[in-house]
Amino acid sequence: MVSFKTYGQFYQIFQTVNIEKYQGKNFIFEGKILYKDKIDRDSWLVLTTVSIDNKNKPIKASLYNDSASDYYKQDDWSSYELAGKIDRNAKYFAIGVAIAGNGSYYLDNFKLFVKEGKNKVEIPLKNSDFEDDSITNWQSYNIDKNTKLSLSKDKVFSGKQSLFVDNSNVKVAPTLGNNPEHGKYIDVNGIKLYYEIYGKGKPLLLLHGNNSSMNSFSNQLDILSKKYMVIGLDSRGQGKSSANDTKLTYELMAEDVNTFLDKMLLKNVNILGWSDGGNIALILAMQHPDKVNKMAVMGTVLYNDISSVTAETNKLIHKQVNEMEDKGVPKTNMDYRLKILLLTEPHINPDSLQKIQSPTLVMAGQYDVVKEKHTKLIAEKITHSKLVIFKGADHEAPQKIPQLFNQTVLNFFDQNN
């Protein structure tokens, strides 16, 4: 899975087609991509589509590939595919690519199909193989001033030309999780953990969610770093941190955090953990109480079953895992491993939470993927806890309602400090 707010540049190259005849139909969008630079967490490309109404306004959110790495082939053309359903109210359909970071790419042979029963009907696209000597049929959104689009004969999948997206002169603005001035690596348990530090004061450690990075807290950084020494940490195999072949568990990642704090000579830190980060924080507080002063956890689970996580969430994750297996994605792939982690972990006995000595703020959204009854169970089992359910919010509360979320967290950490 890719995070579209991870790095400074994020833009799209697309074209729109009239789709009125195929409203409500399933589609398949294909494209051939050749990476000039290796894929990494800084730079990647995915296919994207969005249904558009008769007033030229997008209907719902854009659809993207779950993960760029599922399709990536080093030094070879990668066959990308994106499937979904055209909205029933769509007049137009925008298809194209979304790009982040400063990698460069060759694009060729885009095709759009609509399913009619057992048949696939190809929808004509304009200059989808880039054989015409003009790219006026393709538009760009939010493109960097230093990005250059040109027709190239250097690398082609078929025909004589492809579209070359040249980002070699793009300077990606520093962001949380990708800031050379603040970022460092440290050796921990056979891997390298990446971290960044901002501000001064009592340490406040940020622990992010599954297949994400510290950048998910970008809406929290400014206000928190005014009062605390904020430490952003990328969990193993995520963000800029490395991984090895050791089986992923939340206990393992909690031990990573414990060793990290030991090496940083830190004890009694405050922790803000979101989703997986909350799971890690709970385990750390149980196993190493000397490391945690206070902690605030958002959208946290003790185990994954029908009582803790919504059925829709697990159904989606199972679907993603099945699709990856059908594509032949190796089980060593980090995206695959992280999805399996979500389905099979953690295994925390609710009664074991009584070991936690730290005052704890337990948060979730009213429409969180974590069921409210489960969130209340966590709060009930922790001796010194406070429960907050954000009305009208979901699992993404830190990003969607940052002002309320930040003030709630600050009030908790500031109390009696």
The answer to whether residue 177 sits within a structural domain is no
Q: Does a structural domain hold residue 231? A: yes
Task: Mark whether 146 and 188 lie in a shared domain.
Answer: no
Q: How confident is the model at residue 39 (pLDDT cuts 50, 70, 90)?
A: confident
> 402 preceded by cis ω (within 30°)?
no
One domain for residues 76 and 193? no
Whether residue 257 sits in one domain with residue 357: yes
Q: Considering the domain boundaries, does residue 219 fall inside one?
A: yes
For residue 391, what are the contacts with CB-CB under 8 A and spacing of at least 6?
Answer: 366
Q: Are residues 144 and 114 in the same domain?
A: yes
For residue 1, give both structure tokens.
């899975």
Of 136, 166, 196, the residue that ends a domain is 166
Looking at residue 8, its pLDDT comes to 39
CATH of the domain at 265: 3.40.50.1820
- Give percent of the chain with pLDDT exceeding 90: 86
Strands (E), 255-384: 269-274, 292-298, 360-365
Residue 176 in domain: no
Give SS3 for 35: strand
pLDDT at residue number 67: 82
Using a pLDDT cut of 70, give the percent of the chain over it: 97
pLDDT tens, residue by residue, 323-377: 889 988 899 999 999 999 999 999 999 999 999 999 999 999 999 999 999 999 9
The helix (H) or strand (E) run that includes residue 26 is: strand 26-35
Q: Quick one: average pLDDT of 2-19?
A: 67
- CA gap 321, 329 in Å, rounded: 9
Among 138, 166, 194, residue at a domain's last position: 166
The amino acid occupying position 65 is N
> Do the domain assignments include residue 246?
yes
Whether the pLDDT of residue 417 is over 60: the answer is no
State whether 216 and 151 are in the same domain. no
Q: What is the DSSP letter of 111?
A: E
Please identify, among 108, 138, 166, the residue that sits at the C-terminal boundary of a domain: 166
The number of folded domains in the chain is 2
Please report whether residue 171 resides in a domain. no
User: Does residue 405 carry a pLDDT above 50?
Assistant: yes
Tell me how far apart the alpha carbons of residues 33 and 211 are, in angstroms, rounded to a whole number.
23
**Same structural domain, 43 and 142:** yes
Q: Give mean pLDDT, residues 231-252.
A: 97
**Do 237 and 373 belong to one domain?**
yes
Residue 61: the pLDDT is 85
The tens digit of pLDDT for each residue in 66-97 reads 888 888 999 999 999 999 999 999 999 999 99
Whether 93 and 188 share a structural domain: no
Residue 136: half-sphere exposure toward Cβ, Cα within 13 Å: 2
Q: Are residues 253 and 361 in the same domain?
A: yes
- Over residues 183-187, the mean pLDDT reads 98
Q: Residue by residue, what is the 3-state secondary structure of 190-213?
A: CEEEEEEEECCCCEEEEECCCCCC
Residue 52 neighbours by CB under 8 Å, 6+ apart? 16, 58, 59, 90, 91, 92, 93, 94
Q: Among residues 112, 108, 110, 106, which one has the least CA distance to residue 159?
A: 108
Q: Is 134 found in the same domain as 187?
A: no
Please report whether residue 144 resides in a domain: yes
Question: Do the beta carbons of residue 22 and residue 6 sit within 8 Å?
Answer: no
CATH number at residue 68: 2.60.120
Confidence of residue 378 (pLDDT cuts 50, 70, 90): very high
> What is the pTM (predicted TM-score) of this model?
0.83
Q: Judging by DSSP bridges, how do beta strands 183-188 and 292-298 pair with one another?
A: unpaired
Listed residue (151, 144, 84, 156) closest to 114, CA to CA? 84
Whether 90 is in a domain gets the answer: yes
Domain region containing 394: 183-414
Clarify whether residues 160 and 221 are in a common domain: no
Could you tell me if 378 and 311 lie in one domain? Answer: yes
Structure tokens at 145: 């001033």
